[in-house]
Amino acid sequence: MGKTILVETSARHVHVSEADLAILFGEGYTLTNKKDLSQPGQFACVEKITVVGPKGETKMSILGPTRGKTQVEVSLTDARSLGIKALIRESGDIEGTAGCKLVGPAGEVELSCGVIAAKRHIHMTSADAKEFGVQDKDVVSVKVDTADRSLTFGDVICRVSDSYALAMHIDTDEANAAAIAGPCQGEIIK
């Protein structure tokens, strides 16, 4: 086996724009870093908001820093509980996706779009990409060996930037389908 990749599970979360943060938490509010994430500069926040769909609502953590557009990332199981049809999209590609209501302590935001199930992907630096023999936007498969539910994930997008750290991101449904519990390594299969 060659070089392996840390496989990390992203639970449901929200990225907020500056403008929506001001509505949800009040003018001039800034996010509070609770814990740094594997990707440099990204962090889980103390702040939580409620995501409201036609069938249900769920409290979700905000991930910082703020972004250009507000985006809600859920698993397809979460989407079903909320009553929202989440399309599978790369982060940031939210045009034409479903919307929802966000409720914060200071106000509410009605999103016309932004609810997605994240397309599984690998963050890697250009040095990593060279080592794996892949390029930005390449689609690969990643094999994960577990005791009871080994899986090979197809349709995994490579995202190459020197501002990244090497890690594959999957959602909770995908982690459960592989019975991943805790730190786990995957192997690229082209």
Alpha-carbon separation of residue 78 from 15, 39, 135, 172, 186 (angstroms): 16, 24, 32, 9, 25
Q: How far apart are CA 22 and CA 70, in angstroms?
A: 12
**Would the CA dihedral through 24, 25, 29, 33 be positive or negative?**
negative
Alpha-carbon separation of residue 157 from 34, 66, 99, 104, 140 (angstroms): 28, 24, 24, 33, 7
99-138 residues near a copy of itself, rule: CB under 8 A = 117, 119-120
131-190 residues near a copy of itself, rule: CB under 8 A = 141, 145, 148-155, 172-174, 176-179
Give whichever of 14 and 116 is closer to a copy of itself, judged by the CB atom. Answer: 116
Give whichever of 42 and 152 is closer to a copy of itself, judged by the CB atom. Answer: 152
Closest contact distance (angstroms) between CB of 74 and a copy of itself is 11
3-62 residues near a copy of itself, rule: CB under 8 A = none
Give whichever of 130 and 149 is closer to a copy of itself, judged by the CB atom. Answer: 149
Tokens of 136: 């930005």
How remote is the C-alpha of 111 from its chain's centroid? 18
Residues 71-100, mask of contacts with a copy of itself (x by CB under 8 A): ----xxx----------x------------
Closest contact distance (angstroms) between CB of 102 and a copy of itself is 22
Closest contact distance (angstroms) between CB of 146 and a copy of itself is 8
Q: Which amino acid is at 189?
A: I
Q: How far apart are CA 8 and CA 156, in angstroms?
A: 14
Closest contact distance (angstroms) between CB of 140 and a copy of itself is 12
Q: Which residues bind a copy of itself (CB under 8 A)?
A: 75-77, 88, 117, 119-120, 141, 145, 148-155, 172-174, 176-179
